[in-house]
Amino acid sequence: MGSRATVPAARKGEMMRVHVINPNSTISMTAQIGRAARRAASADTVIDLVTARGTPVSIEGYADEALSIPAMLAEIRAAEARGAGAHVIACFDDPGLSAAREVAAAPVIGICQAAVQVAMTLSVRFSVVTTLGRSVPIIEDLVDSYGAARRCRRVRAIDLPVLTLEEDPDGSYALLAAEVCAARDHDSAEVVVLGCAGMAEMCERLTAETGVPVIDGVTAAVRQAEALIGMGYRTSKLGGYAWPRIKTGGFAPEAA
C-alpha cells in the first residue's frame, strides 16, 4: 500500500497524532477550530493544528476552494513527515478531499463527510445550516456525493459571510439558532449539521437551547480520525487514490 510515507502503527495506548488543517488563512479561525478539536479529542491524542499559508482568508465558493488546495496538499505532506496518523480538512466544503487522499498515506477526513456520516447514524432525516446562500448548492452536491441526498431535508443558509461568525458572534448565534429551529419545525429535521467550521464553538449551546441535537463536523472528524487510526485501516492505494504519478509539475513526494 503506502511506501513513500510511513504511518505510525496503531498500537494501543500509544499517542495518536491528528493533523487538523484549516485551508483558509485566518489564524483566529484556526484557533477556534483548534479549541473544538482539542475538546473533542481523546486524552491520548495530539492535535497538530495548522493554518494554510497564502490561501484565501475564507472559503466561500469554488474559486476559494481551488486556491486553497495546493497549499493544503503541501501541509498534508509536511504533517506526514511529522508523524500524522490522520488528517482532518477543517472546512465544510471538504476542499481537495480526493486530492489529499492521493498524496497522503494516512487517512484524510473531511468535516462535511464526517458530520454527514454521524448524522446518518443518529437520525433518519437531518438538515444542514451554513453561512452564505451561494454555498447551499455546493453543500447539497457534496451531501449527495456522500450518499445522503434522501436523508438530508434541506441545506439552509443564514446569509452571513464566514468571517462574520467571528466578528459578530452574538448576532451570528441568533441567526443560527433561528435557523436550527426552522429546520426542526419546517423540515422536521431530527438532527442539524453545522455547515461551517467556524460554527464549531456554538454547537453545544445550540443543542441545549433549541432541543435539537446539533452536530459539529470538527468534533465528528477528529473522533473519526482517531477511530480510523485505531482500526489500522488506511486509504487504499489501488485505483482512484493511488499515489500521484511522478512527473514534472506534479506533486513531488519530497514537497513540504
Is 136 a residue that touches a copy of itself (CB under 8 A)?
A: yes
Residue 146 interacting with a copy of itself (CB under 8 A): yes
Query: CB of 176: closest distance to a copy of itself in angstroms?
Result: 18
For a copy of itself, the binding residue among 6, 27, 137, 168 (CB under 8 A) is 137
Query: In whole angstroms, how far apart are CA 121 and each of 10, 88, 178?
Result: 25, 20, 25
The C-alpha angle 244, 246, 249, rounded to 5 degrees, equals 95
Least Å distance, CB 195 to a copy of itself, is 15
Tell me if 51 contacts a copy of itself by CB under 8 A.
no
Binding to a copy of itself (CB under 8 A): which residues in 186-245?
188, 190-191, 211-213, 215, 219-220, 223-224, 226-228, 230-236, 238-242, 244-245
15 binds a copy of itself (CB under 8 A): no
Paired strand residues for 157: 130
Three cell numbers written together for 5? 510515507
Amino acid at 192: V
Q: Is 253 in the site for a copy of itself (CB under 8 A)?
A: no
Nearest approach, Cβ of residue 169 and a copy of itself (Å) = 20
Question: From edge to edge, which strands make up the β-sheet containing 191-194?
Answer: 152-157, 126-130, 191-194, 214-215
> Minimum distance from CB of 173 to a copy of itself (Å)?
20
Residue 98 CB, shortest distance to a copy of itself, in Å, is 4
Which is nearer to a copy of itself, 178 or 255 (by Cβ)?
Answer: 255
Beta-carbon contacts of 223 under 8 Å, excluding residues fewer than 6 positions away, are 40, 41, 42
72, 96 in Cβ contact below 8 A?
A: yes
| From candidates 4, 145, 154, 173, binder to a copy of itself by CB under 8 A | 145
Largest CA distance in the chain: 55
CA atoms within 13 A on the CB side of 107: 24
Instruction: Name which of residues 68 to 97 contact a copy of itself (CB under 8 A).
Output: 69-70, 73, 96
